Amino acid sequence: MMPVIDRQWHVAIPFWALSLILVLIYGLGADFALADELFRLEGGRWQLRDQWLFSEVLHHDGRVLSTVLAVILLSALVVSALSRRFRPFLPGLGTTIGVILVSLGIVNGLKAMTDGSCPWDLSRYGGLLSLEAANVFNTIDGGGRCFPAGHASGGYVWVALYFLARLYSPRWQTPALVLGLTLGGIFGAAQQLRGAHFLSHDLWTLGICWFTAVAGFFWLTRSTISSKVGERGESIAGSDCGGQSSVGGKSV
């Protein structure tokens, strides 16, 4: 049976790949380069900010879709808790919900703690704030609470389903991973086109959602293994006591 968490493919490679990409983005100024190009293509203003497809379908209805998926997941948790047939799925479903809530909590907590502004807030893109306001730790312009990307987290949190699938039905791991990455990618790209976020904001959100899921399922598998080892130890100890209770037909 393959491990749910592979330290190389799920921890080391994603960590170093994401770190390298972020270093390149910040070092080369790719955030501003991409935002500059999008702003130019939209005619020197964020034309898609209030466009129906982006503001209503991909933003508002995207939140609705995430809520629907959450309701389905919660329903599955309730069913697994009440049904003996589906009870084996309870730990995995509970962990999935847990890591989703923690991921959203981290993202929203960072948005409240940092001062990074959205592209549409900056004078470079028709806003009122200086470029310094894009720095997530700036103390000059106040900031727009735009770091990390909140809307993209509504999609990227579903990468947790990838680990849920690896736990119970590995054949579904790839579709589950594609679902989470696609939703997060679409939500994030839509917000970038609206001028709401820089590329790095979305990548930080992806990293938070991914590594929170890794930590949650690593804890689940470790605790499950420890529990089984403990149960096995108790069983062996019980067998030894039973075997020693009678020697030569006499109690000892």
Rounded to the nearest 10 degrees, what angle do helices 173-194 and 160-168 cross at?
180
C-alpha dihedral sign at 126, 135, 105, 216:
positive
pLDDT tens-digit series, residues 53-74: 999 999 999 999 999 999 999 9
Considering all CA atoms of the chain, what is the largest pairwise distance in Å, rounded to the nearest integer? Answer: 96
Contacts of 28 (CB under 8 A, 6+ apart): none
Note the pLDDT tens digit of each residue in 238-248. Answer: 444 444 433 33
194 vs 151: CA distance, rounded Å? 12
- ∠ CA 61-66-71, rounded to 5°: 120
Share of the chain above pLDDT 70, in %: 86
- C-alpha separations of 160 from 94, 100, 180, 211, 242 in Å: 11, 7, 8, 10, 45
Domain extents for the chain? 29-225
d(CA 228, CA 241): 20
Q: In the structure encoding, which two tokens stand for residue 91, read together?
A: 């730990």
Tell me: the pLDDT tens digits for 150-184? 999 999 999 999 999 999 999 999 999 999 999 99
Which of 108, 121, 194, 192 lies closest to 150, judged by CA? 108
**Whole-number mean pLDDT of the chain?**
89
For the chain (252 residues), the mean pLDDT of every run of 10, in chain order, is 89 98 96 97 97 97 97 98 96 98 97 88 91 71 80 98 97 98 98 97 98 97 64 45 41 32
Contact 158, 178 (CB under 8 A): no
Q: Which two tokens stand for residue 31?
A: 């955030």
Q: How far is CA 242 from the centre of its chain?
A: 49
The span from the CA of 96 to the CA of 165, in Å, is 10
Q: How many Å apart are CA 94 and CA 78, to the nearest integer?
A: 10
Q: Pick from 210, 193, 116: which is nearest to 156 by CA?
A: 210
Q: Which of 200, 209, 174 is nearest to 66 (CA)?
A: 209
Give pTM, 2 decimals.
Answer: 0.89
Question: What gap in Å lies between CA 9 and CA 173, rounded to an integer?
Answer: 14
Omega before residue 148 within 30° of 0, cis: yes
